[in-house]
């Protein structure tokens, strides 16, 4: 059987190109992080590096608030009006106005937090520099290029700025006292990439900011609200784990948990954009092969989990040294999230969103958050270790899958 025609069609597929560029961006960023991690963790030390991770967890709450669940509605609108420049300008303006307002609101809340919480006030400079990464969420038009299926623009800007930050890190970071320089370099690479992406959108795609009516903003907000609830709940679950570890167990344990997450993120990078990349083409074609896609993603997730168990120990030893080996068993437990991201992401993108069951997405995340908190919070308080939170995280992911299957079966969605 000659498979060359199939390969050629795959090469020409816009979805395949979109996926490849989205994944390349993640892979290169991941490889850069892996290359510099052994150097950074040894120069800064686990306690100081954990402080950076703790600050990043706080900022991620505001990044998710600023994203406002706009990703799916914005991509959907860009796809639907790709041949209508006037309407596209209105969509882009709506997204930037909404996110700009949320950046201002987030900044006000963050200022109040650093003023009245002693620990945040003590390390205010570091946390403020991390917080500036919020500009990346506001300015980077990745949702626009995803809808246009031209993610190579985001690849070039993001990867280029990340590469430029590497020599700066090796030159400037020599001791724990250089933590401020480390944070500043990372923040600048994100902000510059976002600004470059915005300029490219306006220059190459001829997008312009225009006067819009309040009703347009209201409609966009209405479409995004269900995803806001879902995304915020997801971030609360993810980042609360880090905050609980930092609060009850210390910054060194935060660094160990972060390394465990990195071991999971490395393989997840290759899979997390599959559903996002397929979303525009599936939305346009209304494909009936959703069950097959979900089935394949189960197999992919399980295979990657086995891979983490097989090579995770040696990866931990290489990246963090013997003092960070506690990250390995945590990574094995957290690898369940790879399966969760794939399968739940498929249900959301191909089942719930096309049928406008947006609130099922939110309810799914509520189930995950409640199960995580019920198991995780008492666990970390009683057992005083990170394993309790990792197990709670894994169980909550399995609860997400069960909920998606239940709703799909109950309403015969596929």
At 347, list the tokens.
Answer: 């249900």
pLDDT higher than threshold 60 for residue 3: no
- The arithmetic mean of pLDDT across residues 292-297, rounded, is 84
What's the confidence (pLDDT) of residue 11?
A: 45
Compute the distance between CA of residue 102 and CA of residue 232 in angstroms, rounded to an integer: 14
With beta carbons less than 8 A apart as the criterion, state whether 239 and 88 touch: no
Convert the pLDDT of each residue in 164-206 to its tens digit.
999 999 999 999 999 999 999 999 999 999 999 999 999 988 8
Highest mean pLDDT among 82-91, 150-159, 235-244, 349-358 belongs to 82-91
SS3 250: coil
Residues sharing a CB contact under 8 Å with residue 150, sequence separation 6 or more, in sequence order: 18
pTM of the model: 0.80
Which residue intervals of 45-178 are DSSP H helices?
A: 46-67, 71-80, 85-116, 118-122, 124-131, 134-139, 142-148, 152-172
Beta-carbon neighbour count of residue 357 at 10 Å? 18
- The arithmetic mean of pLDDT across residues 239-266, rounded, is 90
What's the confidence (pLDDT) of residue 12?
A: 47
Averaged confidence pLDDT in the chain = 86
- The arithmetic mean of pLDDT across residues 246-274, rounded, is 85
With beta carbons less than 8 A apart as the criterion, state whether 365 and 340 touch: no
pLDDT higher than threshold 60 for residue 10: no
Give the residue with greater pLDDT, 38 vs 282: 38
SS3 323: helix
What's the confidence (pLDDT) of residue 295?
A: 86
Give the residue with greater pLDDT, 321 vs 183: 183
pLDDT higher than threshold 70 for residue 284: no
What's the confidence (pLDDT) of residue 363?
A: 86
- The arithmetic mean of pLDDT across residues 269-294, rounded, is 66
pLDDT higher than threshold 70 for residue 341: yes
pLDDT higher than threshold 70 for residue 357: yes
Burial label, 104 (beta-carbon count in 10 A; 0-12, 13-18, 19+): exposed
Confidence of residue 241 (pLDDT cuts 50, 70, 90): confident
- Phi/psi-derived region of residue 385, left when phi > 0, alpha when psi is between -120 and 50, beta in every other case: beta
pLDDT higher than threshold 70 for residue 362: yes
What's the confidence (pLDDT) of residue 374?
A: 92
Nearest CA-CA partner of 260 in 378, 391, 379: 391
What's the confidence (pLDDT) of residue 54?
A: 94
What's the confidence (pLDDT) of residue 167?
A: 94
Q: DSSP label at 349? A: I
DSSP string, 36-59: HHHHHHHHH-HHHHHHHHHHHHHH
* Range with lowest mean pLDDT among 14-23, 211-220, 245-254, 379-388: 14-23
pLDDT higher than threshold 50 for residue 9: no
- The arithmetic mean of pLDDT across residues 358-371, rounded, is 85
What's the confidence (pLDDT) of residue 239?
A: 87
What's the confidence (pLDDT) of residue 193?
A: 93
Compute the distance between CA of residue 348 and CA of residue 344 in angstroms, rounded to an integer: 6
What's the confidence (pLDDT) of residue 18?
A: 56
- The arithmetic mean of pLDDT across residues 198-226, rounded, is 89
Convert the pLDDT of each residue in 145-162 to its tens digit.
888 878 788 888 888 899
Nearest CA-CA partner of 138 in 202, 224, 66: 66
- The arithmetic mean of pLDDT across residues 323-340, rounded, is 93
- The arithmetic mean of pLDDT across residues 365-377, rounded, is 89
The pair phi, psi for residue 68, each rounded to 5°, is: 55, 25
| Alpha-carbon radius of gyration of the chain | 21
Give the residue with greater pLDDT, 403 vs 265: 403
What's the confidence (pLDDT) of residue 8?
A: 46
Compute the distance between CA of residue 19 and CA of residue 35 in angstroms, rounded to an integer: 24
């Amino acid at each position: 059987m000659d498979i060359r025609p199939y390969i050629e069609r795959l090469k020409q597929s816009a979805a395949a190109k979109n996926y490849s560029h989205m994944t390349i961006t993640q892979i290169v960023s991941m490889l850069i992080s892996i290359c510099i991690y052994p150097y950074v963790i040894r120069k800064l030390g686990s306690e100081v590096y954990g402080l950076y991770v703790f600050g990043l967890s706080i900022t991620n709450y505001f990044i998710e608030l600023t994203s406002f669940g706009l990703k799916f509605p914005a991509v959907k609108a860009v796809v639907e009006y790709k041949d209508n420049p006037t309407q596209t300008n209105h969509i882009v303006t709506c997204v930037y106005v909404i996110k700009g307002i949320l950046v201002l609101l987030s900044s006000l809340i963050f200022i109040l937090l650093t003023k009245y919480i002693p620990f945040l006030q003590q390390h205010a400079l570091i946390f403020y520099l991390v917080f500036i990464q919020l500009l990346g969420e506001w300015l980077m038009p990745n949702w626009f290029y995803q809808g246009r299926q031209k993610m190579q623009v985001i690849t070039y800007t993001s990867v280029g700025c990340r590469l430029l930050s590497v020599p700066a890190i090796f030159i400037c970071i020599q001791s724990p006292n250089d933590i401020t320089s480390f944070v500043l370099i990372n923040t600048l690479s994100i902000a510059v990439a976002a600004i470059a992406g915005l300029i490219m959108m306006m220059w190459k795609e001829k997008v312009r900011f225009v006067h819009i009516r309040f009703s347009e903003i209201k409609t966009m907000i209405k479409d995004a609200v269900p995803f806001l609830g879902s995304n915020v709940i997801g971030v609360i679950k993810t980042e609360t784990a880090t905050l609980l570890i930092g609060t009850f167990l210390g910054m060194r344990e935060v660094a160990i948990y972060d390394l465990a997450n990195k071991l999971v993120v490395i393989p997840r990078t290759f899979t997390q954009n599959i559903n996002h990349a397929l979303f525009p083409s599936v939305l346009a074609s209304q494909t009936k092969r959703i069950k097959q896609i979900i089935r394949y993603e189960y197999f992919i997730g399980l295979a990657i989990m086995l891979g983490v168990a097989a090579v995770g120990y040696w990866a931990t030893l290489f990246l963090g040294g013997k003092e960070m080996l506690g990250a390995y068993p945590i990574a094995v437990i957290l690898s369940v999230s790879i399966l969760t991201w794939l399968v739940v992401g498929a249900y959301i993108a191909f089942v719930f969103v096309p049928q406008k069951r947006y609130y099922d997405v939110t309810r799914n995340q509520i189930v995950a958050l409640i199960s995580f908190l019920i198991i995780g919070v008492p666990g970390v308080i009683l057992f005083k270790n990170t394993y309790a939170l990792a197990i709670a995280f894994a169980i909550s992911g399995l609860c997400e899958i069960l909920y998606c299957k239940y709703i799909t079966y109950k309403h015969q969605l596929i």
